[in-house]
Amino acid sequence: MRHKVYHWTKYLFIYSLLITKIATAFGQANHNLDSLFTTLSKNGDFNGCVIVAENGKPIYEKAFGLADFANNQQLDNQTMFELASVSKQFTAMAIMQLHQSHKLDYQDKVSKYLLQFPYDDITIDNLLHHTSGLPEFLGWNDKLIDTNKVNHDEDILASLIKNTPPLNFKPGEQLSYSNTNYVLLALIIEKVSGQTFDQYMDQHIFRPLGMAHTQVYHQRSSVPKIKDYAYGYIYSPSKGRFVINDSIPGNRYEYYFDGIAGPYGISSTTEDMLKWDQSLYTDRLVSKDEQAAAYVPALLKDGKTATLSGLPYGFGWLVLPEKEYTGKRYMHTGGYPGYMSVISRYPDKNKTIIILTNIWNVVNMYQLNNAVENIVFDRPFVMPTPIPYKKSVTLNPAQFKAIEGTYALDLAPRVKITITSDATQAYAQLTGQMKAEIYPESELDFFYTIVEARIKFVKENNGAINKLILFQNGQQLTASKEK
């Protein structure tokens, strides 16, 4: 008996040591996560909510900062945020559900469901994988869309039918991220299901998962308004402080594209997003076999794997390279003026990172996600490098006028940078992209806030400005002004 007692007490002692070791590891991870986010928050580089979970249970959950700066309303983990492009995985799930119920096929042509769709060879699979070649609608001007009203998904389709802008490439030849793809997917969901997009998402995804604080929501036009909602803010170099996203003139497209849903337009909380994450381990929405398609990248017509910035893209998910200690890694980020978000899943370990913020472009979300990932997997981590708050200088209207014009890239003349201005602000618009503010550091040096990039205008001996140099992602691209 004494031997048996010793035998069991030895194993109880070992078990106790194991439990203590696990608790210590969790405690250290929690401490490091809190140190990371508290430091960023104190420095003004993080304002938002975060959940880090293991096996569906939060090991770290916290809110930092304000939902409404003007009224000093605090954030909490029930505060709803615009998810931006993280919305795409919900749109893709709806398509997967309709596929599983044999109501559509991935290889069906879009024109089968959207009558008069003017591009014959684009399939549903092309839309899901961004291999359609369709141009980005967010860069459209008043020649392609009515900028004096709130537009909806059907208005995007109507413009494609009426104007039929050229494809960027033939379907299946390349991968180029375009929100237009997921607008059309939302319209297909409506056509096939007989429900509006918001009705379908609520009935077939949000309510079944108990996501009571998630909905298709148009911040400026939806009624009623969400009370516990995070308003988006952007740092203004001209004012030297954060301002609400709607107050930036270059963001006016947020008004006339406010009715769009599918590529963005879903609002949620960190806690609801964890419910979504955990449902993906089950067959509550689709079977596991059906869901597996979401993580399979497309093959291009030349047989190569389609990638986005070198990473395979599934159905609303980036497929990151596996690591020995993480296993599989799926993630997606979202960015829309005033909002940045990320969800990262590690299904082999059942670990999850969910971060929702309502301040724009203050810290690189990929760097932040990498730091959190390293903490979660007990690896050394590096604090993300904050994007510096720059203060702009004041120029007179004549100085703004001097830089105006259309500049064609020397290496790709079809790609143009159009520079416009008003009395106090300059704007740059790259072909097919949105117009963005650029802020002067000097008469000839300007910087962006929506991306880490800057423009240097080149003044010739006669005082004319006929060239610019775009500095971005370690590259220098020269563009010449068109006569």
Model pLDDT for residues 173-195, shown as the tens digit of each residue: 999 999 999 999 999 999 999 99
Q: Residue 411 carries which side chain, given as an amino acid letter? A: L
pTM passes above 0.75 = yes
What is the C-alpha end-to-end distance of the chain, expressed in Å?
Answer: 99
The phi, psi pair for 184, rounded to 5°, reads -70, -35
CB of 219 closer than 8 Å to CB of 324 = no
Q: Which residues, 6+ apart, have CB-to-CB distance to 427 below 8 Å?
A: 250, 419, 420, 421, 435, 436, 437, 438
Provide the residue count of the chain.
483
**Residue 5: predicted pLDDT:** 41
Which residues neighbour 300 within 8 Å (Cβ) at sequence distance 6 or greater? 131, 172, 173, 174, 175, 306
- Output the average pLDDT for the chain: 92
Give me the mean pLDDT over the 467-481 stretch.
93
Cite the DSSP H helix spans in 338-443.
365-376, 397-403
- Provide mean pLDDT across the span 265-289: 98
Average pLDDT for 38-47: 94
Query: How much is the pLDDT for 250?
Result: 77
The 3-state DSSP class for residue 404 equals coil
User: Which residue is catalytic, options 35, 41, 85, 159?
Assistant: 85
Which H or E element spans position 36? helix 2-42
For residue 87, indicate whether it is catalytic: no
Neighbouring residues of 336: CB distance < 8 A, sequence distance ≥ 6: 82, 84, 85, 232, 254, 264
How far apart (Å, rounded) are the C-alpha atoms in residues 239 and 232? 17
SS3 363: strand
Contact 203, 173 (CB under 8 A): no
Q: What is the pLDDT of residues 124-158, one digit of tens each?
A: 999 999 999 999 999 898 999 999 999 999 999 99
Distance from C-alpha of 432 to C-alpha of 422, rounded to nearest angstrom? 22
Spatial separation of the C-alpha atoms in residues 49 and 230, rounded to whole Å: 10
Q: Domains in the chain and their CATH numbers?
A: 81-376 (3.40.710.10), 397-481 (2.40.128.210)
Tell whether the torsion through CA atoms of 16, 21, 25 and 27 is positive or negative. positive
Lowest mean pLDDT, pick from 8-17, 77-86, 151-160, 301-310? 8-17
| Mean pLDDT computed over 200-226 | 96
At 457 the three-state DSSP class reads strand
Distance CA 62, CA 34 (A): 9
Angle, alpha carbons 250-434-83 (nearest 5°): 90
pLDDT at 1 over 70: no
Cβ atoms within 10 Å, residue 480? 16
For residue 26, the model assigns a pLDDT of 56
Q: The tokens of 353 are what?
A: 């990172």
CB atoms under 10 Å from CB of 53, counted, come to 21
Identify the bridge partners of residue 416 per DSSP, sorted by sequence position.
408
The CB density around residue 347, as the number of other CB atoms within 10 Å, is 15
Q: Using CA atoms, how far apart are residues 348 and 190, in angstroms rounded to an integer?
A: 34
Quote the tokens at residue 286.
């689709």
Q: What is the pLDDT of residues 308-354, one digit of tens each?
A: 989 999 999 999 999 999 999 999 999 998 999 999 999 999 999 99
Q: Among 48-52, 118-122, 327-331, 474-478, which stretch is predicted with the lowest mean pLDDT? A: 474-478
On the question of a cis peptide bond just before residue 224, with omega within 30 degrees of 0, the verdict is yes
Instruction: Please state whether beta strands 233-236 and 359-360 pair in parallel, antiparallel, or not at all (unpaired).
Output: parallel
Q: Please enumerate in sequence order all residues whose Cβ is within 8 A of that of 160, keeping only pairs 6 or more positions apart, or say none.
A: 117, 118, 119, 134, 180
The pLDDT of residue 219 is above 50: yes
- pLDDT band at residue 18 using 50, 70 and 90 as cut-offs: very low
- Report whether 465 contacts 481 (CB < 8 A): yes
Alpha helices in 203-340, H assignment, sequence order: 253-256, 270-279, 288-292
- Mean pLDDT, residues 385-413 taken together: 90
